[in-house]
Structure 1
Amino acid sequence: MSTSRIRGERGDLFGARFELFADVLALGVAATAASLPLITFPAALSTACTQLRRRRLYAEPCTAGRYFVVLRKRLTRRGEWAAGAVVLAFGVLVAADAGLASAGLPGAAPFALALAVVATAAAVVGLRASAQPSHEQFPGWLPAVQSGAVRTVKDLPGSGLVLLAVLTAAVCAWALLPVVLLLPGPLALALTAVELRPGPGQ
């Protein structure tokens, strides 16, 4: 192997790919910090997806500073806070229902199964909605959720990949708790990659 080839491979490894790795980690920490109020989680994750999408398509800078500038503008819209409130309320409702289902009440088993199916489907739609380009074209969550729902049904392999990404994130968090601070970055990268890949729903 020639020296020039070795240098080329090293340049590739520590060039664009390493920059993407660094950007994803920076976005992960930034999105985690932005999600601390909980109600801001949808906007925080969606902004990370938007930044990664624009980095891939338009080679725009993808830094924590730029992330917070974009997020601050998004949070001036009431719709972002409404979306966060809906997600937070849904999470509380699912947790409460799960508690009731585990209390041993009659019909708890089928209810728990139905709850798991509904919660999983809603989570996939919500996550796919976070990565939709409609956040740039038509600011607001309604078109994004509509598009995410269509993509969830028409692109079942992509929806499976989204679930796999969430399960992987959960396992990583269980295995090493401090990794939680970085997880929104890789999750946003996975969601963006799923939406950018050619698929039946594209």
Structure 2
Amino acid sequence: MTLFADVLSVGLATAVASLPLLTAPAALSTACAVLRGAREERPATAGRYFALLRRRLRAGDLATGALVLAGALLLAGDLALAGAGLPGAPLFAVPAAAIGACALVTGLRACARRESLTDWRAAVRGAARDSVQDVGGSGLVLLAVATAVLCAWMMVPLAFLAPGPLALAVTAVDVRREEGGRGQTEARRADREFIP
């Protein structure tokens, strides 16, 4: 129950920190880092969240936020034009939605990676690779997004708490990927030791 309460407080802190929109990627990345620390017996509190966010917020985070915002506006505009009944719109809407979903999954997985605290490019490269190699994890991220959107749609006040469970979900997918990779490496090492 303590983790559940911490997730909700971190979610509320993330929602508040994301209000300027340009800070949304850094806010979610910080939430993932704070929740990952709970596994390592570090407190996952809103106070720790704001302390970490204050230390790490830099020009690269704001530039990443501007890029994400521009991409979201471009996708929303394209889908709005497709919905306006332009010729060929149904054929265009499907690939545009698929590209948007892939970008969303990659972006969320990048926020969950440890590298996002210091180097967004490395985090995005790793997340893109993971999104392709770990299709199950990408599906879990999409399900987490759908759940967060559905909760926010059903009860608007939940929109301010939704970033916490979403951050927990993408962090869990990233931890799952790390532990799966570690397990495969150990299995290969054991095979090499026992197979002549």
Q: Structure 2 length as normaliser, TM-score?
A: 0.89
Three-state SS of the structure 2 residue aligned to 1:38 is: coil
Three-state SS of the structure 1 residue aligned to 2:174 is: helix
1:93 shift after superposition: 0.5
- Report the AA paired with residue 46 of structure 2: A
1:89 alignment partner in structure 2: 70
1:54 shift after superposition: 1.5
C-alpha contact 1:125 1:145 (8 A) present in aligned 2: yes
Give ranges in structure 2 of 5+ residues lacking alignment: 182-196
CA RMSD of aligned residues (A): 1.4
**After TM superposition, what 4+ stretches of structure 1 lie above 2 angstroms from structure 2?**
198-202
1:81 shift after superposition: 0.5
Residue pairs, 1:1-16, within 5 angstroms: none
- In structure 2, how many angstroms separate the alpha carbons of the residues matched to 1:25 and 1:112? 35
1:174 shift after superposition: 1.2
Pair 1:67 & 2:49 matched: yes
C-alpha contact 1:155 1:201 (8 A) present in aligned 2: no
Q: Structure 1 length as normaliser, TM-score?
A: 0.86
- In structure 2, how many angstroms separate the alpha carbons of the residues matched to 1:65 and 1:198? 28
% identity of equivalent residues: 55
Give CA deviations for 1:137-171 in whole Å, capped at 9, x if unaligned.
xx120000001001100000000000000001111
Q: Which has the higher helix share?
A: 2
Pair 1:80 & 2:61 matched: yes
Three-state SS of the structure 2 residue aligned to 1:62 is: coil
Q: How many residue pairs align between the two structures? A: 181
Three-state SS of the structure 2 residue aligned to 1:106 is: coil
Query: Of 173, 177, 185, which aligns to 1:194?
Result: 173
- In structure 2, how many angstroms separate the alpha carbons of the residues matched to 1:142 and 1:67? 23
1:92 shift after superposition: 0.7
C-alpha contact 1:151 1:201 (8 A) present in aligned 2: no
Query: Of 122, 125, 129, which aligns to 2:110?
Result: 129
Residue pairs, 1:1-202, within 5 angstroms: 18-56=1-39, 58-75=40-57, 77-136=58-117, 139-198=118-177, 202=181
Give CA deviations for 1:25-76 in whole Å, capped at 9, x if unaligned.
10011000000001110000010000111211x211111011011111121x
Q: Structure 1's 158 and 171: CA in aligned 2 closer, same or farther, altered over 3 A?
A: same
Give ranges in structure 1 of 5+ residues lacking alignment: 1-17
